[in-house]
Amino acid sequence: MILLRFRTWESVKQELGVICGNLKDEPRIITVGGTALLYHGLKKSTRDLDFVFTTQGECYWFAEALSAQGFEVRKSANVWRFIDLKRNLYIDISYGTVGDVALTQSMFARLIEEQINGFSIWIVSLTDLFIMKACHSVTTSETDAIGDALRIVERVDMDEVEEELEYQSETVREKVEMFRKEFIQI
Amino acid sequence: MASDIDLDNEMSVTSRQIILMLSSCDKDYIIDIPTILINNADRIDFNELVNTAFEAGLGYSLLALIDVANKLEHSDAFFKVLSQQYPSNIEGNVIEDNIFPVHKFRQLIKRSFLERIEERWNVRIAFTFDDFYKVYRDYHLLPVHGEGLRKYFGDIIEI
């Protein structure tokens, strides 16, 4: 069997449409990771869907909807991973932060809204995706994340990145600086 | 080209599809190959696969990826094909993504963790072992052994 992949934003919307149909409340669903890159046209496909929520409560509502659809949950320190074992479909959800990167008010102001079956889905901006991917690259050295960050950096305004870093922790600022030194100045 | 891969029929895997994935120079396909080989080891005709790969000029690249698959999870099918091909190692090749040519990878990552496999097949690989492991963990270990792993680790997994 070849591994399931989402290759278009439309296919992500279809999957989200089904999940939203099982939601009993209206969490603010924020799309991050490869899913957001697919939306921005900077990734050809993604294997798993990644969402983050502002609060634990909203994350729980979404988790309930996934469980109602038969997804099995595996929890780690950073994310809850929901798996549809029949389709090899993975959905990672978390709240409050994406790795080291905090969800800030300035980040919310840059979110892009998409409507799916009456639900608002919010996509994180390229500026914030760059910060998330740069931090992840430094933490893991995965070529996957490094490649993503290198693709994004060509399309972001570094002044906006600098502004956002003012609101982030020292760790995030250090990691983004490390990424820039290590990977951008080739 | 990767776009020739039959995306409407993803439940089956053929030698041609694997070779198309390998020749695509697209990380999203290449990284999946060892796990696909593991998941389909009992269905793949490795002689046909290796012959098709050599015809396409990708024989040693494929052998390197079979070697990676065997490192992730030992299989007699992998061992057999690797043993048969090993002595005739004469040509070299490169496994890389469009965005990660080997020279850039060496410059940026500075290590690959796959040196022995590269030496064995004279192939240079622009990915780390962890890149392959992540797909193996998600798309073989958890779906296939998920319940067994749960007995030992509960719901807590490394992501």
Q: Which residues have C-beta within 8 Å of that of residue A5, sequence separation ≥ 6? A: A45, A46, A47, B28
* A/B interface, count of CB pairs below 8 Å: 95
Nearest residue, CB atoms, B105 vs list A78, A92, A143: A143
What total of structural domains would you count in chain B? 1
Nearest residue, CB atoms, B100 vs list A2, A72, A147: A147
Q: What pLDDT, on a 0 to 100 scale, did the predictor assign at position A1?
A: 60
Beta-ladder partners of B93: B123
Distance from A134 to chain B by nearest Cα, in Å?
13
Nearest residue, CB atoms, B109 vs list A44, A143, A151: A143
pLDDT tens digits, one per residue of A20-30: 999 989 999 99
One digit per residue, pLDDT tens: chain A, 186 residues?
Answer: 667 789 899 999 999 999 999 998 999 999 999 999 999 999 988 988 999 999 999 999 999 999 999 999 988 878 999 998 888 889 999 999 999 999 999 999 999 999 998 899 999 999 999 999 999 999 888 888 898 999 999 999 999 999 999 999 999 999 999 999 988 864
- List chain B residues with CB under 8 Å of A143: 27, 97, 100, 105, 109, 126-128, 131
Comparing alpha-carbon positions, the chain A residue that sits nearest to B107 is A186
Structural domain that includes position B116: 2-129
Residue at B134 is within a domain = no
Cα–Cα distance, B46 to B84 (Å, whole number) = 11
H-only helix segments in B73-128: 76-85, 102-108, 115-121
pLDDT tens digits, one per residue of B74-113: 999 999 999 988 877 667 789 998 888 888 888 888 777 8
Mean pLDDT (whole number) for B32-42: 93
Is there a contact between A101 and A94 (Cβ–Cβ < 8 Å)? no
Cα–Cα distance, A82 to A89 (Å, whole number) = 8
- Asked: is A9-124 a CATH 3.30.460.40 domain? The reply is yes
Q: Is B95 helix (H, G, I), strand (E, B) or coil?
A: strand
Q: Is B98 helix (H, G, I), strand (E, B) or coil?
A: coil
Distance from B40 to chain A by nearest Cα, in Å?
7
Helix (H) or strand (E) holding B93: strand B93-95
Residue at B151 is within a domain = no
Nearest residue, CB atoms, B156 vs list A43, A76, A90: A76
What is the ipTM, given to two decimal places?
Answer: 0.80
Count of C-beta atoms within a 10 Å radius of residue B141:
19
**Domain parsing of chain A, residue ranges:** 9-124, 128-184
Cα–Cα distance, B146 to A3 (Å, whole number) = 17
Residue at B136 is within a domain = no
Q: DSSP assignment of chain A, as one string? A: -PPP-B-SHHHHHHHHHHHHHT-SS---EEE-HHHHHHHTT--S-BSEEEEEESSHHHHHHHHHHHHHTT-EEEE-SS-EEEEETTTTEEEEEEESEETTEEP-HHHHHT-EEEEETTEEEEE--HHHHHHHHHHHHHHH--HHHHHHHHHHHTTS-HHHHHHHHTTS-HHHHHHHHHHIIIII--
Cα–Cα distance, A161 to A129 (Å, whole number) = 10
> Tokens 């996934």 — which residue?
A66
> In the numeric block, which tokens belong to residue A76?
């780690």
Strands A80-84, A89-95: parallel, antiparallel or unpaired by DSSP?
antiparallel
Cα–Cα distance, B140 to A90 (Å, whole number) = 13
Residue at B19 is within a domain = yes
Check CB contact under 8 Å for B159 and A76.
yes
- List chain B residues with CB under 8 Å of A150: 99
Is there a contact between A50 and A32 (Cβ–Cβ < 8 Å)? yes
- List chain B residues with CB under 8 Å of A186: 104, 107-108
Q: What pLDDT, on a 0 to 100 scale, did the predictor assign at position B1?
A: 41
Which chain B residues touch A if contact means CB-CB below 8 Å? 7, 10-13, 17, 26-28, 31-32, 35-36, 39-40, 97, 99-100, 104-105, 107-109, 126-128, 130-131, 134-135, 138-139, 142-143, 146, 150, 155-159
Angle in degrees, CA A113, A71, A68, rounded to 5: 80
Check CB contact under 8 Å for A2 and B108.
no
Residue at B105 is within a domain = yes
Helix (H) or strand (E) holding B125: strand B123-125
Residues in chain A: 186
A99: Cα separation from own chain's centroid: 10
Residue of B108, B130, B135 to mutate, testing the A interface (most A Cβ within 10 Å of its Cβ): B108
Q: What pLDDT, on a 0 to 100 scale, did the predictor assign at position B11?
A: 54
Residue at B140 is within a domain = no
B4 pLDDT band (50/70/90 cuts)? very low
